Amino acid sequence: MEKQDCLHCHYFRVKDIASGICRLAKGADAPRPTKQHGDLCAEFRDSGQQYYIRQGWLKSQAAQQEA
């Protein structure tokens, strides 16, 4: 079974290489809390292939920062 952290969650949107926002709440004025990639949540929903896309983006961002 996969880890149930934010990086694997459907509701998570990556903001930078260390954190992102939780999009669980819907609506224009809904709170969008900042979360770390490894944070856990009771409302976890598997993101499937999106996880691998996020991993690739994070690796490319880390490589750009090193250069």
Residues 6+ apart with CB under 8 A from 63: none
Taking the model in full, what pTM does it have?
0.83
The confidence band for 1, taking pLDDT boundaries of 50, 70 and 90, is low
pLDDT of residue 27: 87
pLDDT of residue 38: 93
Q: State how far the Cα of 47 lies from the Cα of 2, in Å rounded to an integer.
A: 11
- Residue-wise pLDDT for 10-48, tens only, equals 999 999 999 999 999 988 899 999 999 999 988 999 999
